[in-house]
Structure formats: C-alpha cells, structure tokens
Amino acid sequence: MTVFGMGKHGNVGVKTQGFATPLERLRDVDVAVIGGGPAGLAAALGASRAGAEVVILERGKRLGGILNQCIHDGFGLALYKESISGPEYAERLMDDVGREGIRVETGAMVLDLSADKILRVNSRSGYSLVRAKSVVLAMGCRERTRDMIEIPGDRPAGVWTAGTAQNLVNLQNLRLGNEIVILGSGDIGLIMARRLTFEGMKVKGVFEILPWVGGLERNVRQCLSDFSIPLELTTTVVDICGRDRLSSVVVSRVDEALKPLAGTEREIPCDTLLLSVGLIPENELSKRAGVELSPATGGAVVDEMFMTSVPGVFSCGNVLQIHDVADWASFEGFVAGKNAALHARGEIPTRGTIVRITPGAGVRYALPQIVRRSAAGVDLHFRVTAPRRNVWIEARGSASGTIFFRRKFPRLLPSELQKIKLTTAIDEDLEVAAHD
C-alpha cells in the first residue's frame, strides 16, 4: 500500500456491525476514486480542491494508468501547453496529488461497488470496505481481442493486442518478433508500428477494415508515412496460420458490407500479429452498482455533471467514453471530481426534471445524454459516424424545433472526439445531428 498523504481529515479503520465480517475493516470517506490514471488523478484533485476528503484506489503497483507504458510524446498539449511523454504527464498529476495530501492506495483492487456506495477492496493490507458519500468511476478501458472479432484459423503464439504488446516492449523490454502485421488503425496500432520499427522489427503493413483510419491523422503521418509503413484500408485479416508460432496471415479486401471479397486474398509471411481493433470501457463495477450504460459509448449515461443514473456515482475518462487524448480524460476528471465533492456535501440535487440529448443523423453519440432543465453552458461531446467535409452540426429541440447550436465544420472524423458548448439553457429534449 502506498500512502502519499494521510488525508485532510484522517482515516478511520473500524469494524462494522451488520454488513461486515469481523475480518473486514470499514473506512468512511467523502469521495472514493476508483482508478489512478489521468482521469482518476484529476478527479481526486478536483474533489480535494473542492474541500472533500478523498481516497484513490488503484489496482496497479503505481499510479498513472495506461500513461506509464506510453513513452512517446504528444501528451499534455491541452492541459500543460507542451508535448510531453505519458509518464511525465502522469508524474505532474501525481505531484499535484502528493502536494494536495490526497490519500492514495496502490495495489488496491475494487472488487465490488453497491448502489449505496460501499466498495469492497482487496489490497496488500487485506480485505476492507470503503463507505463513500460519492464515488468517481475512472477504471479506464480494455482492448478488444481476436475472439471478439472472430478471426478464424490456427491459434499459434505471436498474436497480441497492441496495448499488451506496448506494455511488453516498453515496460518489460521484450522483443516480440521480427516481421509484424498490424490489424486495425486505432492510435495504439499506429503508435506501435513506429515503436516496433524503432526496435528494429519489420512492420509489413497496417490493415484496416473500414474505408477510413481509426486513429488520429497526426499519428498516421508521424507513425506510418514518416517510416514508409504501408496502410491498406477496406482490408482485413481472414486467416491466421502457424502451428506453434505464427507463420503468416491471409488478408482480403472487403465489400461495402465489410464482407471479404472472394479472389482478393493474399498471404503475408510474418511471426507477429498485433490487433488494434477497439477499446471497451471497463464497466463491470458500474453494472454491479446498477449504473445505466449507453450502448453507443459502452460507458455510463451521465448528466452534465458527469453523474450517472445512480445518485452520487460519477464517471470520467475512458470508462465513460473512449478518449483520443489523455488531456480530455483529465478535464472530465476535474469536473466529475469537483461535482462528487459537492454531492458529498449535499449541494447537488439528485432528482429533478431532466431533458435528454440523443444523436440524430450522422452522429454516433452525444454526451452527456441527460441535462438538468435549468443548465446553461453545457459542454457537449459528440462523434460523427463517418468522415464528413463542410458539415453543419445542429442541436435542435425535439418538440419545438428551436436551434440551440448550429455551426459549420470544415472537416469531421469519427476518430476525433468533438466538444461544443451549448450557451443557452436547455428546456426541452434535444437531438444532435450532422447535415450537409
């Protein structure tokens, strides 16, 4: 257990009556933050600066989350106005957490969360319960695997998800193989194409089933084009070959329905296949607490304060929606944490009339999905379903047709999370849509 500070108000470690066994310890806290990545660290800072006693519970050995394995730069452009590496970005937030005297427990896995905000925690010091007035969910995400995308073929060694490969190469100094194929053009796959090239491996190509790239354009330029690594769109892996070790993959073009086109198959010899085929918000604990999830984001349905359908439970970062850049996960964290502190003091009403925001034509999702009727100045996130040029984004009242937001964007990509501000108070349900 790592303790950076004893907390502003000290911690209690008492045995409980009723719901705890004699071996369980109960601690009361204003705000419990689950996960110590860029979202969780920012949430803890937001809550502590708003006057709450906070504990961060992180299952890993150290804070920082996924940032620890992201040794490339490109982090911090929005938050710190400079380009720094993932570990440096994490360190800045950790320094602030230390200065703030926030209690941190690493090696502390939250096993369960109830709707009344009792957390069951397994840590090196034993099994304990934390009873929080507010909880911030900041558990990040996990990668989609081969099984989830159903690639047929042999099951040899040498097939990795890109994030696991990044961990093995960057943190454990392991060499994965010699000849690499990457399926999926998400940011992790693009970044790993460059990283493995630096490590002396031959990246034979990045293949993407969709007609557009899944990651950021800057990553295509800096990670593929600059190293002459081929990128093939509308192409997927249809077979994996090799008895013990991967020996080749078969790629095929796909049609508009993303089905392989017969006769376009091509075998590529390789000993390693990386999969960068999507991220899934890690919401098992949220489900245990009864939090309503959105099928579009895979994360919680939240209001403009990032509060979920369970009063006092907030969500931010990749567990809420997959972020392209860590800064936005942190910005969400600061707001969610501050509101969690306000809720802990009873300053946020948990009920009341609400309006719903739903995605319309050309928009994959809009977030928050719920807004309190009186709110003005709401920040609205959205993603488009496909690349668009010279497109109008409109937020329109579903009943009256009133336009609450309208702006022309020169270019929008599904890979880029967009944020707009609704400056007027919203008093009816809204639909956010993209129009030519």
Ligand X SMILES: Cc1cc2nc3c(=O)[nH]c(=O)nc-3n(C[C@H](O)[C@H](O)[C@H](O)COP(=O)(O)OP(=O)(O)OC[C@H]3O[C@@H](n4cnc5c(N)ncnc54)[C@H](O)[C@@H]3O)c2cc1C
Q: Does 236 bind ligand X (CB under 6 A)?
A: no
Site string for ligand X, 87-126 (x = CB under 6 A): ----------------------xx----------------
Whichever of 208 and 282 has its CB closer to ligand X, that residue is: 282
Among 29, 66, 135, 136, binds ligand X (CB under 6 A): 66
Report in angstroms how near the CB of residue 407 gets to ligand X at its nearest.
24
Whichever of 140 and 205 has its CB closer to ligand X, that residue is: 140
Q: Does 224 bind ligand X (CB under 6 A)?
A: no
Whichever of 138 and 313 has its CB closer to ligand X, that residue is: 138
Report in angstroms how near the CB of residue 109 gets to ligand X at its nearest.
5
Question: Pseudo-torsion of CA 367, 370, 374, 377, nearest 10°?
Answer: 0
Q: Which of the stretches 11-19, 53-61, 146-154, 234-242 binds ligand X when contact is defined by CB under 6 A?
A: 53-61
Among 33, 39, 378, 391, binds ligand X (CB under 6 A): 39
Q: Does 139 bind ligand X (CB under 6 A)?
A: yes
Among the listed residues 178, 50, 57, the one whose alpha carbon sits nearest the alpha carbon of residue 112: 57
Site string for ligand X, 147-186 (x = CB under 6 A): ----------------x--x--------------------
Q: Which of the stretches 6-14, 55-63, 345-353, 365-373 binds ligand X when contact is defined by CB under 6 A?
A: 55-63
Among 79, 93, 191, 231, binds ligand X (CB under 6 A): 191
Q: Which of the stretches 8-16, 34-42, 259-267, 382-390 binds ligand X when contact is defined by CB under 6 A?
A: 34-42
| Nearest position to ligand X, beta carbon | 37
Q: Does 208 bind ligand X (CB under 6 A)?
A: no
Q: Which residues bind ligand X (CB under 6 A)?
A: 34-40, 57-60, 65-67, 70, 72, 74-75, 109-110, 138-140, 163, 166, 187-188, 191, 282, 285, 317-319, 323, 325-327, 329
